[in-house]
Amino acid sequence: MAKEKGFASFTPAAAEAFSKDEQKKRPQTGLQRYKEKMAKQSEVK
């Protein structure tokens, strides 16, 4: 999905919107996956 491809280049506002969208679909897992992705990104940098 384009959402996944563009994740690394998301602005904070877009990332927040993405997080909220994920929470609507999967209240816990969406937020958890989002946090894990952000943690991995900070590790890579």
pLDDT band at 42 (very low <50, low <70, confident <90, very high): confident
What is the model's pTM? 0.32
More confident residue, 39 or 26: 39
> Between the CA of residue 23 and those of 17, 29, 31, 43, 45, what are the distances in Å?
10, 8, 6, 24, 26
Q: Is the pLDDT of residue 22 over 50?
A: yes
Count CB neighbours of 39 within 10 A: 10
Q: Is the pLDDT of residue 1 over 50?
A: no
The CB-based long-range contact list for 28-31 (8 Å cut-off, 24+ gap) reads none
